[in-house]
Every structure is written in structure tokens, then in C-alpha cells.
Structure 1
Amino acid sequence: MTDRDKEERPVLMKENIVLNCKAATPEEAIINAGSLLLKSGYIKSGYIKGMLSRDQNFSVYLGNMLAIAHGEKKARDQILRTGISVLIYPEGIDWHGNQVKVVMGLAAIGDEHMEILMHCANIFSDRKQVERLVRCRDKEKVYQMFNSL
């Protein structure tokens, strides 16, 4: 990847949105979210281990059917640039006793995660909006929802 590729890469790329995922375990969902970030050049492979470890030590479930998988602080050196992935599981995942239907993978440099989290708080504060997101079958609409990141 060239420096120019790094500069032009948005926080969310359409290929990092996966709709209608089949039910999985939290571990499988984290690996899937992390693999998208890896494939797109946002992280090095070691970050996925940090994502799994974070959820084992402190659940990444945030409420309203959302889990944001992100790595432990010690995995920050595995982040190449800020990016997210979005996976939608309409059937839901049992996430340590909570139902999750949207899994986001998050890798952020410095404090860049704050703006992303604030935007996600706006999206996920309205249960009806979350339900529309989960039912959505149009990747473009999902992309537009997150496009302001």
C-alpha cells in the first residue's frame, strides 16, 4: 500500500459492510470484523488477537443490539490507519447474554475513535433506527448512514 492509498482510504469502505450475516459466536463475529479491517489495510494481523482479548476481559457489547469490537491498548501498534467494518446479523448473536445484531470492527489512531463513537451513539440511540438498519438489504443505504464518519 502506498502513502497515497493511505491518505485516500475512507474510514468506512463499502466492501467493509456485510449484510445478512449468518448467526455466529462473538468470537467468530470479532474475527470476521477484524478480517475485513485486515484485508483493507487498516490493521496488522495482531490487532485481531487484541480485539478478541478485549472482549474476553471486558465485553464490547454497548447496548441496543450493538457490539463494537476493538483491540486492547497494547494492540494499538497493530493499527495502520483509522477504519471500521460493519456486519449485520439479522438473526442476532448471543453476546454474553445480550442480543447483538450489528457488529462493528473499530481500529483508531489516537483519539480518532471519539468522533466515530459519537456518530454511532446518534445512530444507535434510536431503537427504531437500529431495527431499520438491521432489516436493510441495501449496502448503499447502510454506507450513507455511516458516511459522515
Structure 2
Amino acid sequence: MKFNLFKSKALPLLKEENIKWVEDPISIDQAIDLVGHMLVKTGYVEKEYVASMHERNRELSVYIGNSLAIPHGTNEGKVHIKQSGISVALLRHGLEWGGEKAFVIIGIAGKNEEHMSILANLSTIFGDMDNVDALLKMNDIKAIHKFITTGEHS
């Protein structure tokens, strides 16, 4: 299975520096802060967007199944998005999220309607538990980046 998360965008949606393995147990709020602050640090969003991500999760859980949670901001928070991008936290111990266990946390900032394209591409990966299992066995950030952005893995 191959796909292209970048589509025809000139700027990449996922930078290698926005992928982190988390070795210690963390809370939901810490997970949202982690992926949110990666988006801030790499210039995708303003810091106010992170608060919007927390608000969104309080309104409706952002855990979507297959070990995946996708924190993203509220509609009001979209004014704080500079450009579309994602960040990824992989949790060694997982995290109890809405009665399920999340191992992959992907922060999403989608400008205009680009969030729908991002979600469609992510559903291609995470709709198949074999892909999730393969991803969670990877330790190399470059391999993780390649897998998430192209669907290719060894």
C-alpha cells in the first residue's frame, strides 16, 4: 500500500523533528501538550492553538480507535493555524483514552479544508491494525517518517 500524505503540497505536513517516541507513561493532557507544542515549535501553529486542542478533546474525545488519538483544535482555534501540519507521539506504554488504549497520538493542524485530506490519508494508515502494529515496532525516526508519509516500510 502506497499513498502520499504530502499530495502536491510544496511544504511538508510532517517533519522528522515532529515525531517523538515517549518512553514514560503520560496523561492525556501531557500527550496533547506534547503534539501541540511540536506544532508550535516548527511554526505550523501559534501557541493559542494548543489550548484549542485541549478544548476540543473536552468537548468530544479525539480518540478514534485502532490505538489512535488525533488531537486537533476547535473551529474557533483555526485562526491560530499558520499552515497545515501534523506531529506524532508514539507511546511505549500506551495511554488510557476514553476506555481504550492509545499508542499513537497525532496532532493535526489543517488550514481551511486541508484537515479533511489529512484525515483521509491518516485513515488509510490507521484503518488497518497491521499498519499500526508495524509502526509501533519501528524505532528509527526516518523509517517512521517514511512510513507515515508514503506508506512504505521494510
Identical counterparts, % of pairs:
33
Equivalent residue of 2:83, what SS? coil
Residue 4 of structure 1: aligned partner: none
Q: Which residue of 1 aligns with 2:63?
A: 61
Check conservation: 1:27, 1:52, Cα contact below 8 A.
Answer: yes
Length, aligned pairs only: 143
Contact 1:50 1:75 in 2 (8 A): yes
Superposition RMSD on alpha carbons, in Å? 1.6
Q: Measure the CA separation in 2 of the matches of 1:21 and 1:34.
A: 18
Q: 3-state DSSP class of the match of 1:99?
A: strand
TM-score (norm 2): 0.88
Q: CA deviation at 1:47?
A: 0.3
Moved over 4 A (4+): none
Q: Structure 1 residues 49 and 20 mapped into 2: Cα distance closer, same or farther (>3 Å)?
A: closer
Give the structure 2 partner of residue 107 of structure 1: 109
Q: CA deviation at 1:21?
A: 3.8
* Structure with the higher fraction of residues in helix conformation: 1
1:17 has 2:19 as partner: yes
Point out where structure 2 has 5 or more consecutive residues left out of the alignment: 1-8
Aligned to 1:98: 100
Q: 1:22-73 CA distances to partner (integer Å, 9 max, x unpaired)? A: 2211110000000000000000010000000000110000100000000000
Please state whether the residue corresponding to 1:130 is helix, strand or coil: helix
Q: Runs of 5+ in structure 1 lacking a partner?
A: 1-6
Shift of 1:148: 4.2
TM-score by length of 1: 0.91
